[in-house]
């Protein structure tokens, strides 16, 4: 059997194992599903009235999709750190399998979890009045872009989980970066309201690009009167979002594998 086939087989087995283990931690699954629903309701009805009403709720969903899958990176970090703390990863190392299979199995299972999160968030969006305004083909590619970004974020979580020295550290480190990354962006508001340096950061933020590209693919324009930046990442949101997702995946996959090998040599 070729190396690639072994990798695909072993990663699939480990991904299935990770999904089965979710039955033992139903609280984490519920939290991953309730969190985006909470943000949809909070932003749509608490802040939405002053930001454009129904038009804002339509605009909001692209940002919620990007935020929801970004937050699932903490799920990856915690799961991998927990496996290392319990010695399960050491057992996997003793088996004749590619080392990448352990990491790929974790990110694949969390991609399934992100798909479930995306489904629940979509249903919640439909309940608050959001609708897809574009074609079925564009909508398909919009959801595909969100899942590609989710896969990239899961590798960020994997790197954090491997670098953390305990489950507690992984839990804190896996959450502390999420709020500035998701809120210093155009996921929920226009970047024109931000101070100069912060606006530049928000415009080049991959979360902003993903949210903007998804909105365009889903046919969800911004509310009337909301100023839109003319910065390059905003105008070319789709290629920039795709490039960022691929670059983040490659970079953090390399970091995760290097860290995994260092831990294995101890």
Q: Residue 11: pLDDT above 80? A: yes
pLDDT bucket at 50, cuts 50 / 70 / 90: low
- Burial of residue 194, with CB atoms counted within 10 A of its CB: 0-12 exposed, 13-18 middle, 19 or more buried: middle
How many whole angstroms separate alpha carbon 193 and alpha carbon 172?
30
11 in any annotated domain: no
Asked if residue 209 lies in contact with residue 187, where contact means CB atoms within 8 angstroms, the answer is no
Instruction: Flag whether pLDDT at 266 surpasses 60.
Output: no
pLDDT for the residue 204: 96
Confidence at 53, pLDDT banded by 50, 70, 90 = low
pLDDT score for 262:
79
Q: Is the dihedral of CA 16, 252, 92, 70 positive or negative?
A: negative
Does residue 89 lie within any of the structural domains? Answer: yes
Query: Residue 30: what pLDDT?
Result: 81
Q: What is the pLDDT of residue 137?
A: 95
pLDDT above 90 (res 214): yes
Instruction: Pull the structure tokens for residue 5.
Output: 């086939």
Question: Which tokens go with 204?
Answer: 């080049």
Average pLDDT over residues 192-201: 89
Structural domain contains residue 15: no
Q: pLDDT averaged over the chain?
A: 87
Residue-range definition of the domain harbouring residue 187: 26-264
Task: Give the least confident one: 43-47, 105-109, 139-143, 230-234.
Answer: 43-47
Each residue's pLDDT tens digit, 75-100: 888 888 888 877 777 787 777 788 88
Q: Is the pLDDT of residue 1 over 80?
A: no
Q: Does residue 189 form part of some domain?
A: yes
Q: How confident is the model at residue 249 (pLDDT cuts 50, 70, 90)?
A: very high
Sequence length of the chain is 266
Please give the model's pTM, rounded to 2 decimal places.
0.91
Q: Kindly state the percentage of the chain with pLDDT values over 70.
A: 96
Segment 232-243, tens digit of pLDDT: 999 999 999 999
Task: Flag whether pLDDT at 199 surpasses 90.
Answer: yes
Q: Is residue 76 part of a domain?
A: yes
Q: 262 vs 84, 208, 216, CA distance in Å? A: 13, 34, 43
The Cα–Cα gap between 178 and 113 comes to 18
Report residue 208's pLDDT band, with 50, 70 and 90 as the boundaries: very high
Q: Is residue 162 part of a domain?
A: yes
Structural domain count of the chain: 1
> Residue range 53-67: average pLDDT?
87
Q: Is residue 3 part of a domain?
A: no
What's the pLDDT at 68? 92
- Residue 256 domain-assigned (yes or no): yes
């Amino acid at each position: 059997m070729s190396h690639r086939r072994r990798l695909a087989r072993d990663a699939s087995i480990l991904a299935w194992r990770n999904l089965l283990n979710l039955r033992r931690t139903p609280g984490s699954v519920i939290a991953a599903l309730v969190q985006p629903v909470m943000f949809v309701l909070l932003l749509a009805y608490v802040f939405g009235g002053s930001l454009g009403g129904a038009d804002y709720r339509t605009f909001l969903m692209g940002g919620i999709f990007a935020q929801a899958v970004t937050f699932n990176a903490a799920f990856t970090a915690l799961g991998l750190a927990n496996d290392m703390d319990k010695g399960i990863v050491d057992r996997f190392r003793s088996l004749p399998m590619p080392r990448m299979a352990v990491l790929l199995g974790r990110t694949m299972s969390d991609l399934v979890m992100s798909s479930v999160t995306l489904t629940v968030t979509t249903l919640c969006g439909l309940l608050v009045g959001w609708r897809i305004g574009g074609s079925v083909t564009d909508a398909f590619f919009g959801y595909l872009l969100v899942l590609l970004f989710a896969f990239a974020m899961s590798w960020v979580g994997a790197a954090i989980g491997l670098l953390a020295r305990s489950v507690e550290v992984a839990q804190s480190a896996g959450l502390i970066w999420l709020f500035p990354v998701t809120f210093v962006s155009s996921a929920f508001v226009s970047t024109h309201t931000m101070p100069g340096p912060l606006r530049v950061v928000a415009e080049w933020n991959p979360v902003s690009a993903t949210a903007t590209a998804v909105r365009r693919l889903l046919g969800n324009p911004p509310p009337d009167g909301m100023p839109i930046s003319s910065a390059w990442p905003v105008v070319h949101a789709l290629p920039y979002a795709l490039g960022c997702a691929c670059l983040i995946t490659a970079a953090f996959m390399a970091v995760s594998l290097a860290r995994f090998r260092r831990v294995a040599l101890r």
